């Protein structure tokens, strides 16, 4: 019971920057008395800090000035990571989610056996922690975001394009290696939380995000919470069926709009093939499109159309106020985006006209990793500080 209110207050402090107790009381609809008690306990546990400076109400600040409260950055440290086929990106953040250090390793891991991949990830985490001037013991939780179908509760990776093997208990593996609690989460969910906490969905409690990368992922925010499929499975949009093609063959979204589908259209020659192998295929493709390469433009237009239709279908199902699009495929530029927008406008049902806003976001990989860190922090929030809290 108290735990619920504590969480509520802590989350309010996280979301609304430095904030006074009175305002917390208004937002949480708890009495000032209760807020006072809870914040006292949070201060006692070192999770939040008072700031006597910034009382910037009205100009004429009569009465006793407010004491602003904010998260104590030093209350915890977490590591977030984005694991993609061609690169590993790590960040270490403090309790507020502010990035302390980042590290990008441009390494292909998708052809490696699982043990090698785990080795590389372990190295990355350790190095990034070191870069932040910390040791692994200072880190409370690690969260790894990777594409594919992931069971959040267990950290079980059903299938992922970055692993050669299927059905890997990656969370257990990494927890053992790092001797630190490690969460494995869908990268799409990570970036969704990133946008909810720091990005383009801070103002919303319902939202849908679609990630267009090597695979196509989905994140749904519903009532300020990540909507995880019934069994805690992540959503893999690439498997969606767009219709029947020739001879009763199914047309799946991944075959139209997956990274390999787009890049594969062009017979990869020399430098382009090299770029793809290094995981910079999309950037190269975008350059070729600017140079009016018709094959690639055609592929981009087809992909945009497929994605546009898919978004319309998802809007039909969820009717969210905003859909955020992220991922490397956005780099394809106008031919892709225009075709996407057109297909969407055509396909979204008239009855939902004006309900949903489309937003494109070209954040860097760091932001994904920061999202993974947010997942880790989110987990920390719910753990009982009173007993197993961080060093005070």
Partner DNA sequence: GTTATTTATTCCTCATTGCGGATTAATTCA
Partner DNA sequence: TGAATTAATCCGCAATGAGGAATAAATAAC
Residues that bind a copy of itself (CB under 8 A): 1, 149, 158-159, 206-207, 218, 222, 227, 229-231, 233, 235-237, 239-244, 250-251, 305, 309, 312-314, 316-321, 346-347, 349, 351-352, 355
Residues 145-184 as x/- pattern, contact with DNA by CB under 7 A: ----------------------------------------
Least CB distance from residue 98 to DNA, whole Å? Answer: 24
Stretch of 37-45, 80-88, 125-133, 215-223 contacting DNA, by CB under 7 A: 37-45
Take residue 170 and report the two structure tokens written for it: 């990656």
Q: Which is nearer to a copy of itself, 260 or 283 (CB)?
A: 260
User: Is there binding between residue 56 and DNA (CB under 7 A)?
Assistant: no
Residue 215's binding partner out of DNA, a copy of itself, none, with CB under 5 to 8 Å set by partner kind: none
- Report CA Rg, the chain: 22
> Rounded to an integer, what is the distance from CA 221 to the centroid of its chain?
11
Residues near DNA (CB under 7 A), total: 27
Q: How far is the CB of 348 from a copy of itself (least distance, A)?
A: 8
CA–CA gap between residue 35 and residue 24 (Å, rounded): 7
39: contact with DNA by CB under 7 A = yes
Which residue, 57 or 153, has its beta carbon nearer to DNA?
Answer: 57
Strands 19-20 and 68-71: antiparallel
Which of DNA, a copy of itself, none binds 321 (CB below 5-8 Å, type-dependent)?
a copy of itself
The one of a copy of itself, DNA, none whose footprint includes residue 62, by CB under 5 to 8 A per kind, is DNA
Closest CB to DNA among 32 and 294?
Answer: 32
Using the rule CB under 7 A, is 245 a contact of DNA? no
Residue matched to tokens 């013991």: 137
Instruction: Tell me if 17 contacts DNA by CB under 7 A.
Output: no
Among 11, 36, 273, 316, indicate the residue that binds DNA (CB under 7 A).
36
Q: 57 is written with which tokens?
A: 């109400």
Q: Would you say 30 or 194 has its CB closer to DNA?
A: 30
Interior angle at CA 347, CA 342 and CA 351, nearest 5: 120
Q: Specify the residue, 318 or 381, whose C-beta has the smaller distance to a copy of itself.
A: 318
- CA distances, 363 to each of 7, 133, 360 (Å): 29, 26, 9
Residue choice 10, 12, 18, 30 for contact with DNA (CB under 7 A): 30
Beta carbon nearer to a copy of itself, 103 or 307? 307
- Per-residue contact string for residues 60-99; x = within reach of DNA by CB under 7 A: xxxxxxxx--------------------------------
C-alpha 319: how far from chain center: 21
The strand pair at 206-212 and 322-326 is best described as parallel
Determine contact, residues 262/254, Cβ cutoff 8 Å: no
Partner from DNA, a copy of itself, none binding residue 345, C-beta < 5-8 Å depending on class:
none
Interface region with DNA, contact rule CB under 7 A, candidates 23-31, 87-95, 219-227, 300-308: 23-31
For the bound state, the minimum distance from the C-beta of residue 8 to DNA, rounded and expressed in Å, comes to: 9
Residue 318 vs residues 106, 217, 234: alpha-carbon distances, Å:
36, 16, 16
Residue 30 interacts with, from DNA, a copy of itself, none (CB under 5-8 Å by kind): DNA
Answer yes or no whether residue 26 interacts with DNA by CB under 7 A.
no
What are 7's two structure tokens?
């969480």
List interacting residues with DNA (CB under 7 A).
1-2, 4-5, 20-22, 29-34, 36-40, 57, 60-67
């Amino acid at each position: 019971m108290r735990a619920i209110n504590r969480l509520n207050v802590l989350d309010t402090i996280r979301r609304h920057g430095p904030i006074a107790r009175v305002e917390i009381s208004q937002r949480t609809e708890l009495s000032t008395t209760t807020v006072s008690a809870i914040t006292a306990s949070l201060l006692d546990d070192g999770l939040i800090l008072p700031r006597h400076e910034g009382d910037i109400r009205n100009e004429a600040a009569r009465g006793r000035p407010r004491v602003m409260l904010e998260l104590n950055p030093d209350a915890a440290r977490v590591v977030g990571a984005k694991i993609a086929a061609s690169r590993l990106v790590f960040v270490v953040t403090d309790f507020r989610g502010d990035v302390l250090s980042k590290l990008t390793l441009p390494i292909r891991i998708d052809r490696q056996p699982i043990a090698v991949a785990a080795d590389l990830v372990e190295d990355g985490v350790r190095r990034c922690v070191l870069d932040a001037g910390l040791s692994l013991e200072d880190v409370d939780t690690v969260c790894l975001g990777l594409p594919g179908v992931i069971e959040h509760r267990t950290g079980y990776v059903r299938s992922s394009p970055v692993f050669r093997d299927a059905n890997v208990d990656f969370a257990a593996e990494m927890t053992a290696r790092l001797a630190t609690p490690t969460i494995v989460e869908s990268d799409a969910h990570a970036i969704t939380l990133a946008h909810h906490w720091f990005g383009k969905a801070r103002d919303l409690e319902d939202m849908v995000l679609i990630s267009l990368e090597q695979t196509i992922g989905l994140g749904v925010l519903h009532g300020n919470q990540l909507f995880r499929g019934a069994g805690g499975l992540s959503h893999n949009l690439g498997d969606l069926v767009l219709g029947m093609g020739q001879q009763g063959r199914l047309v799946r979204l991944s075959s139209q709009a997956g990274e390999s589908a787009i890049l594969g259209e062009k017979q990869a020659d020399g430098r382009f093939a090299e770029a793809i192998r290094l995981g910079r295929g999309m950037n190269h493709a975008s350059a070729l499109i600017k140079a009016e390469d018709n094959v690639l433009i055609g592929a981009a237009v087809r992909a945009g159309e497929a994605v546009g239709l898919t978004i319309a279908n998802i809007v039909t199902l969820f009717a969210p106020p905003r859909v955020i699009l992220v991922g490397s495929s956005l780099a394809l530029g106008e031919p892709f985006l225009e075709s996407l927008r057109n297909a969407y406008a055509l396909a979204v049902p008239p009855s939902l006209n004006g309900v949903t806003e489309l937003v494109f976001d070209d954040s860097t990989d760091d932001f994904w990793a920061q999202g993974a860190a947010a997942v880790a922090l989110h987990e920390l929030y719910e753990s009982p500080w009173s007993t197993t809290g961080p060093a005070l």
